[in-house]
Chain A
Amino acid sequence: MWLEGVRRSFPGEVVALEGVNLEVAAGEFVAILGPSGCGKSTLLRLVAGLDPPQGGTVRVEGVDGRVAYVFQDAHLLPWRTVLANVELPLQLKGVPRAARRQAAEAALAQVGLGDALDRFPAQLSGGMRMRASLARALVTEPRLLLLDEPFAALDELTRSRLDEELFDLWRRRRMTVLFVTHSLGEAAFLAQRVVVLSPRPARVVGEVEVALPEARDATLRTTAPFNEVVRQLQGVVQQWGKL
């Protein structure tokens, strides 16, 4: 199972992506780092099949349609409870009630929302809503998880916590993850490999292998190797100006 996005451009009124080459192996955690509005989201939407490429090819193989997408904001259905929201993807795929309920409860327990099943999104904090959104993505047991600046709207503390939990999830499940962010620290903390994009039209301008230990927790952020990765990323980014 692997994903290969060979070369694609996406010209609308503005060219968002120009000749982007990217190859991602199965089970890899890749962060895509780039300035705001550089076409990172466009890239994810192409990979998800939500938009067609207007040049080049996008090939996603071996995921069997099991692709999940997490947006910048939670985007839950406000009229459904947390549990019913997480059941939604399975419901749309026609999974029987009992089975989807069980899967949803498990996914919610995984993101630490096991005791908020019957609350409505309006009754949750921003962080909890994002957890529910993450659970909704996980419930389908995706082979490919696409995250579009998922924690960007949260406060620093909540964001770090969720980064740690996401990393744990990935380490246990080993799905392929594409994580779009504009935070150097977040990219360094989570990914095995960071792909840096240029400002619009986006091109891949650099790649940094993150050689950090397999087990990562909050303490990693203060270690020398971590700072070295961030510094390296800073170098690539500075070459291309504005972030």
Chain B
Amino acid sequence: MRQLLRNAFPPLVAFLAGNALWEALAHLLEVPLYLLPPPSRIAGALLTHAGPLGRGVLLTGQAALAGFALAATVGVAAGVLIASARWVQRAVYPFTVLLQTVPLVAIAPLLVVWFGYGVRPVAVAAFIVSVFPVIVNTVAGLRSVDPPLEDLFRLYGASRWARLFKLRLPWALPSIFAGLKVASGLAVIGAVVGEFVASYAGEDAGLGMLALTFARESHTDRLFAAVGLASLLGLALFAGVGAAARLTLRHWHASEQEER
């Protein structure tokens, strides 16, 4: 509990102080509301539009989570496949890099053609931008297995599966989690960008669509509220992955050992 307090206190103070400064400057310099609304206005917008924003958080969160889960599953599986043989790596790896370089906004219309509007194309957008770091980190982790341990498993006649599940995947786990952490933030970004194009408007608008609408209407305070919520969503997903990593690795990996 004291640990929690000690960790939560400094960022909380910084947050409050930063907002107070922002509020004061916005009033003192009389910044136009459509340019930079003060925090009080954003909080107000958050309250008056709690309904659509809440619904947006739910929709975007759902799509991001689905895309992230898909990226985690497909990414690890692809990583295992790629790391299984040199020739597979040479054949497939260059194309996975395409996932990283393809401009999401440009292919989002294609996603609409394939999947229509709604959660599905948005989840696919989240998947496309978040799968690459999972693949890369899985491959790196699997490639880094301690050679003597590979020898040991060979000496004891371990099967391919035993080697994969009892040695290589556990060994790659810290690396995989590092990939998942990067992917968690990207998934939310991918979902929001996907929603620019593929979200329903009105009742079933995700945060991305809401942000777009608010921007067009010059409701900058509401826009800030939507953007803030999207960031919080990414943060929550990241924290979830972090907690899972801690739970899994705390006994044995230096990256998750408690500080003394």
Question: Is B a genuine binding partner of A?
Answer: yes
Contacts of B247 in A (CB 8 A): none
Contacts of A73 in B (CB 8 A): 148
Dominant SS at the B interface? helix
Question: Scoring A residues 70 to 81 as 1 if CB is less than 8 Å from chain B, else 0, what string do you get?
Answer: 010101011100
Report yes or no: B155 in contact with A69, Cβ–Cβ below 8 A.
yes
Residue from B149, B162, B252, B253 having most chain A Cβ neighbours under 10 A? B252
The residue on A at minimum CB distance from B257 is A122
Query: Chain A, interface size: which category?
Result: 20 to 34
Q: Which of A87-119 contact B (CB under 8 A)?
A: 88-89, 91-93
Report yes or no: B170 in contact with A89, Cβ–Cβ below 8 A.
no
Give bound CA distance, A121 to B251, whole Å. Answer: 9
Give bound CA distance, A71 to B148, whole Å. Answer: 7
Report yes or no: A69 in contact with B152, Cβ–Cβ below 8 A.
yes
Contacts of A71 in B (CB 8 A): 148, 152
Contacts of B155 in A (CB 8 A): 48-50, 67-69
Question: Scoring B residues 131 to 161 as 1 if CB is less than 8 Å from chain A, else 0, what string do you get?
Answer: 0000000000000001011011111111000
Query: Chain B, interface size: which category?
Result: 20 to 34
Give bound CA distance, A140 to B155, whole Å. Answer: 12
| B58 interface residue (CB < 8 Å to A) | no
Contacts of A49 in B (CB 8 A): 155
Q: Known contacts A121-B252, A122-B251; decide if A77 and B149 are in contact (CB<8 Å).
A: yes
Query: Min CB distance, B245 to chain A, in Å?
Result: 13
Q: Which of B102-154 contact A (CB under 8 A)?
A: 146, 148-149, 151-154
Give bound CA distance, A78 to B253, whole Å. Answer: 8
Q: Known contacts A69-B155, A77-B170, A79-B170; decide if A120 and B251 are in contact (CB<8 Å).
A: yes
Give bound CA distance, A71 to B166, whole Å. Answer: 19
Report yes or no: B157 in contact with A92, Cβ–Cβ below 8 A.
yes
The residue on A at minimum CB distance from B248 is A79
Give bound CA distance, A226 to B104, whole Å. Answer: 75
Please name the 3 residue pairs, one residue from A and one from B, whose CB atoms are nearest each other, closest first. A78-B252, A92-B156, A92-B158
